[in-house]
Structure 1
Amino acid sequence: MLSRVLLTPTTIRLVHSLICSSSRSFMDLKVLLSSLNDFASLSLAESWDNVGLLVEPSPPHTVNTLFLTNDLTEEVMEEALQKKSDLILSYHPPIFRPLTHITWKTWKERLVIQALENRVGIYSPHTAYDAAPQGVNSWLAKGLGVCTSRPIHPSKAANYPMGGTHRVEFSVNSTQHLDKVISAVKEIANISITSFSTRTDDEEQTRISLNCSQEALLQVMAFLSQNRQFYQKTEILLLEKPPLPQTGMGRLCTLDEPASLATMIERIKRHLKLAHVRLALGVGRTLESPVRVVALCAGSGSTVLQGVEADLYLTGEMSHHHVLDAASQGINVILCEHSNTERGFLSDLRDMLGAHLENKINIILSERDRDPLNVI
């Protein structure tokens, strides 16, 4: 007897998912962390932030399933464990301030205990993903319409050029003095000799260029001040870290075509899948006022947006007084609640990480992660 099996679309998707999952390989945790850093370097994060691997199971640890969430709550942790996750990527760091105890008393301590007991790692990129060219703020800008954008506060390269913070240049008149200067410089830590140049006018002179740290600079100047007969024509230059293209906090976006404030509100609500946003009208503005320049910052924008010239500020939250300051200058302010300006990015992140990791592991989104605030 022949039996017929009816395959529904849901069944087909489940079978496809199982086939794809079984065909994926594991990645060693350290290899995966290195790849994640290649995708968006943790050096881009703000100095006050707590990013990277926050909870590490005892090695060796391999990852088959990477679980993405905006906030790691106890409800989300339960979901991650049910889905057999090996590493949780939580955009917001669940451990921000130091924990003095690991007990069952507070929810954050319980997260750490559950992660370790179930051999699940926890990783947070937070502001590194804010600053990245393909990160959260760039995703938020996609909802505005066709525009050009640049970071409000550009990121700088991780290292100073040529390994120092300052450059010292001076001339030495004789070979005897030159040997003594070079010998003394080599005794100073965190310093490098970048160039020599010799020229002869009435007398031979050698121009020395040094790159050094702030501390080394003080030692160099102390040596030179004690041996004034050795040198002349001294210059001290401050070396700045070079900016990174399209990388940094916030975005200043210029629309190709101006749109009314009412139109911008509808675009933003549609992009963030929100029924409501909060609006502060700038002084003298109406819903029909044109918007050409938008300054935005995912999450909390008070500091990043302060003082920026724009027609509209878009962020998750701002302090009451910062909203008043902006409105008094004729700047409209749209607030969407903190994580509503971030969470939608995770869908794009899943696709980008899948391509970056060559689909070697299973990447899933939390279905229980949500903004804690609701409009009722």
Structure 2
Amino acid sequence: MSDHKMATVRQVVAALEELAPLSLAESWDKVGLQVGDPDRPVKKVMLSLDSNDEGVIDEAIAKGVDLIIAHHAMIFRPVQTVRTDTPYGRKLQKLLKHDIGVYVAHTNLDIAEGGINDILASRLHLEQVEVLSRVHNTRLKKLVVFVPSTHHEQVLKALGDAGAGWIGNYSHCAFNMQGIGTFVPQAGTDPYIGEQGVLEKVEEVRIETIVSDANQGKVVAAMLAAHPYEEVAYDIYPLEIMGEELGHGRVGNLVQEMTLKQFAEFVKVQFGVPAARVVGPHDRIVRRVAVLGGSGEEFYPAALNKKADVLVTGDIRYHYAQDALADGICLVDPGHNTEKICLPSLQAYLEAKVREREYEVEVILSETNTEPFTFL
């Protein structure tokens, strides 16, 4: 008998949302479960760039897929009718008839650390990578807890291991101060130290550390589990300082400078495309690169502000290209569909999460080509 557990749609997408929380998505975006029942059992998941593609849906049916996880939405604009004599209605009918769920992770996956744009930046071997255009900052709080000296190290380690105390590239950061804690256990208590009705004085350590808003629940749970007291004394204070910067696109430096022509050829190879549109003098030397998956022409001023020599993004229109050229930044457009190169990394992430939770779930990649353009 297998030790693996049956997973539901809800449980599978919860694992993905650890990487790309829905709260990161832009307000206009349509993300989350768009088709299907969150409590439906899942044995096979298929990752695809596009969900609103009949070839992808037919592939999912043929392969016995229970859940499609896609970057581009199945439902984006309001649906006025579900007429099955239309291409769109027929696709929805197929999904519902075969009980296939569709979950969408779009701008939340673009923005997430380790998401689409970090993967694209890594494919270009960029160094000293930073966010191109800020959307959010993680909210930070200060956590203060009082611990008996005997359990100081135990609680301190539990806090750090759960993710508290991250400042830049340093983990387990905390301030520790010794003092005397006093309390009187009242009727109905079962104190770890002392006895009912008697004032107790205990050598304690005040631990102060930083916790992100997103990680607060996990950290507090770990702290309470490691703390010996029946009633734990702790405080959480909101802070004015901003935490990690999160946003669209990435900017960084090439390992070695090259001409714009050489760089465009490099992009073609790394992104697996047959052609790329190039804006700018082919002999221009480029070293600092901005990259943004999907359609990102409007971010070229942000790339200029970050002192990028070139912006790599899809769907660049004529007048944006002219304006960028006049403003002194080069552009390389390998197309919107290049985001598909991120799918193997997401597959590896989700497979690791599934194994960790011992779910009986197979994660596959769609083999359907959803690129609408060909090059002659």
**Structure 2 length-normalised TM:** 0.67
Which residue of the partner structure matches residue 7 of structure 1? none
When the two structures are aligned, how many residues end up with a matched partner? 273
Q: Is contact 1:54-1:123 (8 Å) kept?
A: yes
Q: How does 1:43-82 map to 2 (within 5 A)?
A: 43-57=23-37, 60-72=39-51, 73-82=53-62
Q: How does 1:347-366 map to 2 (within 5 A)?
A: 347-358=344-355, 360-366=360-366
Equivalent AA in structure 1 for residue 279 of structure 2: A
Unaligned runs of 5+ in 1: 1-21, 163-238
Q: Is contact 1:279-1:333 (8 Å) kept?
A: yes
Q: Is contact 2:132-2:251 (8 Å) kept?
A: yes
What is the CA distance between 1:107 and its match in structure 2?
A: 2.4
Which residue of the partner structure matches residue 64 of structure 2? 84
Which residue of the partner structure matches residue 327 of structure 1? 325
**Alpha carbons of structure 1 residues 160 and 144: separation in structure 2 relative to 1, 3 Å:** closer
What is the CA distance between 1:60 and its match in structure 2?
A: 4.0
Q: Is contact 2:19-2:113 (8 Å) kept?
A: no
Q: How does 1:79-228 map to 2 (within 5 A)?
A: 79-157=59-137
Which residue of the partner structure matches residue 151 of structure 2? none
Between stretches 258-267 and 292-301, larger displacement belongs to 258-267
Q: Is contact 1:292-1:311 (8 Å) kept?
A: yes
Which residue of the partner structure matches residue 276 of structure 2? 277
4+ residue stretches of structure 1 with deviation over 6 A? 158-162, 239-242
**Alpha carbons of structure 1 residues 250 and 83: separation in structure 2 relative to 1, 3 Å:** same
Distance 2:326 2:33 in 1: 43
Aligned residues with identical type, % of pairs: 30
Q: How does 1:294-373 map to 2 (within 5 A)?
A: 294-309=289-304, 310-340=308-338, 342-358=339-355, 360-373=360-373
Distance 2:114 2:299 in 1: 18
Structure 1 position 287 matched with structure 2 position 286: no
**Alpha carbons of structure 1 residues 39 and 144: separation in structure 2 relative to 1, 3 Å:** closer
Which residue of the partner structure matches residue 249 of structure 2? 250
Larger Rg: 1
What is the CA distance between 1:308 and its match in structure 2?
A: 2.6
Equivalent AA in structure 2 for residue 350 of structure 1: Q
C-alpha RMSD of the superposition: 2.4
Distance 1:80 1:24 in 2: 23
Between stretches 151-160 and 68-77, larger displacement belongs to 151-160
**Alpha carbons of structure 1 residues 133 and 53: separation in structure 2 relative to 1, 3 Å:** same
What is the CA distance between 1:244 and its match in structure 2?
A: 5.2
**Alpha carbons of structure 1 residues 65 and 154: separation in structure 2 relative to 1, 3 Å:** same
Distance 2:301 2:90 in 1: 37
What is the CA distance between 1:307 and its match in structure 2?
A: 4.4
Q: Is contact 1:297-1:305 (8 Å) kept?
A: no
User: Deviation digits for residues 241-298 of structure 1, max 9, x if unmatched?
Assistant: 86553631011122243222222112211111112111111xxxx3232111112211
Distance 1:105 1:158 in 2: 46
Equivalent AA in structure 2 for residue 315 of structure 1: T
What is the CA distance between 1:360 and its match in structure 2?
A: 4.0
Distance 2:66 2:73 in 1: 17
The alignment partner of 1:346 has SS state of helix
Distance 2:326 2:310 in 1: 13
Which residue of the partner structure matches residue 262 of structure 1? 261
What is the CA distance between 1:24 and its match in structure 2?
A: 6.0
